[in-house]
Amino acid sequence: MTEDIHKFVRNDSIMFEYDVHDMKRAVTWYKEILGLEVVFQGGECHTEFALPVKGARLALSLADKNKRILKSGRLFIPVTDIDAVEAHLIKKGVKTHREKVDDVVSILWVEDSEGNLFAFEQWINRT
């Protein structure tokens, strides 16, 4: 962003959004599997969760037949113990896929109840 735009950008929050087809199922998944707290409910078509970073939110928006579904973008959630996160998710019945990138970062890929892909990541020897 240019310096001119920076003066208009809020520095106290950021939001990432996924489209979902079944809001009730998706909200249940994020609450029960990830333990996220709903912080805003916009009727039946929009729900926001607090993420474990100050000011960060995850929004779910109900997709309809006339709306373009965006399947790009992924949410990466940094963690301190990726093994513990993976064990927790497996215990909850979530399928995971683990990959290590050049001995730099370990990534745990997960799909939510709506097929949206996101990842937990733990950096290796990063200072």
Q: What's this model's pTM, rounded to 2 decimal places? A: 0.72
Would you give the end-to-end CA distance of the chain in angstroms?
A: 27
- Report the CATH number at residue 53: 3.10.180.10
* Domains held by the chain: number: 1
Query: In a structure prediction context, what are the per-residue pLDDT tens digits for the chain, which is 127 residues long?
Result: 455 656 666 677 788 888 888 999 999 999 999 999 999 988 788 899 999 888 899 999 888 754 655 555 678 888 889 999 999 999 999 999 999 887 888 999 999 998 888 889 898 876 5
The 10s digit of each residue's pLDDT in 29-53 is 999 999 999 999 887 888 999 998 8
**49 closest CA partner among 27, 77, 79, 25:** 27
| pLDDT at residue 1, rounded to an integer | 47
CB-side neighbour CA atoms (13 Å) of 33: 18
Determine which helix (DSSP H) or strand (DSSP E) holds 106, and give its type and residue range.
strand 105-111
Q: Is 108 exposed, middle or buried (0-12, 13-18, 19+ CB in 10 A)?
A: buried
Question: Which residues constitute the domain of residue 51?
Answer: 3-65+73-123
Alpha helices by DSSP H, 1-127: 3-6, 23-34, 82-91
